[in-house]
């Protein structure tokens, strides 16, 4: 049986299996150097499929794509931000064309959210993307419900999906999940549609829990004579309480990019701390950085400068600061980022609305 379940809200992942059993590749030091990306340097972006081939094509000036999608069922949280940062990175650094799918059909099927209702959430999500630095002139942003090429491909691909293959990849599931998975393959292969210039290397940045979708897409791509889509994999950040996976279903377990500074501050103050039980112990032993969720949030999200991050780590582990001081010092980095982002995002809302209105 499959040890990865892309639809589970929480799970622990056996990382060692990924390379041996599922065939992912580790990021080599050479690729890490070439990317020069804080997420790669820190081992958060830690694995890939065919990123080497993608980089070669990009360096040779061939057209390359990076694609992702999101269900417009909620505001962006830290998980969505991570994927968005990756899209923007590959676009900025390598000139990749971004394909971004607003998975409104999936939101309807999974969450019962009507298409009109998710439109407003989608506008907000796209404004977040733009505020994070996405250049819409080198991007194709579309709604799943309006993109008939995706639907056509899903239909056509369905003949390649045998029950055995679906069971092997996803386990015994409800039909609607298979249907959604096939549509997602349409999304992943859309950059290679003839209307977008045909075959090209594509990278899909995902959390490592999404790998079954990648394997499924690669299997179909092989049979339908597309280039196999590649992927980059990031680790899954723990919840603010230190649990194994962020969940949209428990809003307090993550920051939303729309959280007011007050709400965000409260969440971060309550985040699981690496500090010791008493001041005396903290001074004597230092805190446990690997358990400190404030540090994890900063490392994944709000501090890109490695030396600054080291200072934060030292503040906790050296024992020179008590937990209260530590929080007072570092939480503002997150709040300032959030405030600046929210201001940029406000300015991007009209543009986001326009982009999505063109989609009908």
Which residues contribute to the site for its own copies (CB under 8 A)? Answer: 105, 108-110, 115, 145-148, 151-152, 154-156, 158-163, 166, 172, 174-176, 178-180, 182-183
Token pair of 186, please? 């349409």
The minimum distance between CB 280 and its own copies, in angstroms, equals: 57
Q: Which is nearer to its own copies, 115 or 308 (CB)?
A: 115
Long-range contacts, stretch 43-46, CB < 8 angstroms, 24+ apart: 43/235, 44/82, 44/234, 44/235, 44/299, 44/300, 45/86, 45/205, 45/232, 45/233, 45/234, 46/233, 46/234, 46/235
Q: How many CB atoms are located within 10 Å of the residue 15 CB?
A: 13
Please list the residues that pair with 230 across neighbouring strands: 203
If the CB atoms of residues 11 and 158 are measured against its own copies, the closer one turns out to be 158
DSSP conformation letters of 161-182: --HHHHHHHH-S--HHHHHHHH
Rounded to the nearest angstrom, the gap between the alpha carbon of residue 56 and the centroid of all alpha carbons in its chain is 23
Relative to beta strand 139-143, strand 97-102 is parallel
| Identity of the residue, 76 or 216, whose beta carbon is nearer to its own copies in the bound complex | 216
* Smallest distance, its own copies to C-beta of residue 216, A: 12
Question: Which of residues 105 and 132 has its CB atom nearest to its own copies in the complex?
Answer: 105
- Nearer Cβ to its own copies, position 137 or 159? 159
Residue 276: helix, strand or coil by DSSP? Answer: coil
Give the dihedral sign, CA 171/209/248/352: negative
Please say which residue, 109 or 263, places its beta carbon nearer to its own copies.
Answer: 109
Shortest CB 178 distance to its own copies, Å:
6
Among residues 226, 109, 210, which one has the least CA distance to residue 169? 210
CB of residue 316 to its own copies, shortest distance in Å: 46
Closer by beta carbon to its own copies, 164 or else 277: 164
Q: In the bound complex, what is the minimum distance in angstroms from residue 174's beta carbon to its own copies? A: 6
| Residues constituting the chain | 360
**Cβ at position 338, least distance to its own copies in Å:** 35
Q: Which is nearer to its own copies, 160 or 265 (CB)?
A: 160
Name the strand (E) or helix (H) holding 200: none
Per-residue CA distances from 347 to 36, 84, 344, 354 (Å): 30, 18, 5, 13
State the nearest-atom distance from the C-beta of 226 to its own copies, in Å. 16
Q: How far apart are CA 29 and CA 37, in angstroms?
A: 12
Min dist. Cβ of residue 150 to its own copies (A): 9
Helix, coil or strand: residue 89: helix
In eight-state DSSP terms, residue 299 is I
């Amino acid at each position: 049986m499959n040890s990865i379940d892309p639809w589970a809200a929480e799970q622990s992942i056996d990382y060692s299996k990924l390379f041996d059993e599922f065939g992912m590749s580790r990021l080599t030091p050479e690729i890490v150097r070439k990317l020069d990306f804080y997420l790669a340097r820190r081992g958060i972006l830690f694995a890939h499929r065919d990123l080497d081939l993608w980089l070669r094509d990009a360096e040779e000036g061939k057209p390359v794509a990076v694609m992702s999608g999101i269900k417009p069922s909620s505001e962006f949280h830290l998980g969505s931000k991570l994927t968005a940062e990756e899209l923007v990175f590959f676009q900025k650094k390598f000139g990749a064309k971004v394909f971004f799918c607003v998975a409104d059909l999936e939101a309807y099927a999974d969450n019962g959210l009507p298409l009109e209702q998710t439109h407003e959430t989608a506008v907000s999500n796209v404004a977040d993307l733009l505020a994070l630095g996405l250049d819409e002139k080198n991007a194709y942003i579309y709604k799943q419900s309006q993109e008939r090429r995706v639907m056509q491909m899903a239909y056509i691909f369905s003949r390649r999906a045998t029950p055995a293959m679906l069971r092997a990849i996803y386990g015994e599931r409800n039909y609607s999940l298979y249907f959604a998975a096939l549509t997602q393959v349409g999304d992943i292969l859309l950059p290679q549609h003839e209307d977008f210039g045909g075959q090209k290397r594509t990278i899909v940045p995902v959390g490592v829990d999404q790998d079954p979708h990648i394997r499924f897409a690669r299997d179909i791509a092989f049979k339908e004579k597309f280039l196999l889509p590649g992927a980059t994999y990031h680790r899954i950040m723990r919840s603010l309480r230190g649990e194994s996976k962020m969940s949209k279903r428990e809003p307090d377990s993550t920051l939303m990019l729309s959280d007011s500074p007050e709400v965000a501050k409260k969440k971060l103050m309550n985040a699981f701390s690496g500090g010791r039980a008493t001041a005396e112990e903290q001074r004597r032993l230092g805190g446990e950085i690997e358990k400190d969720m404030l540090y994890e949030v900063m490392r994944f999200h709000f501090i890109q400068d490695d030396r600054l991050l080291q200072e934060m780590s030292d503040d906790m582990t050296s024992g020179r600061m008590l937990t209260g001081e530590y929080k007072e010092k570092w939480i503002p980095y997150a709040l300032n980022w959030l405030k600046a982002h929210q201001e940029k995002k406000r300015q991007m809302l009209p543009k986001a609305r326009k982009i999505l209105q063109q989609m009908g």
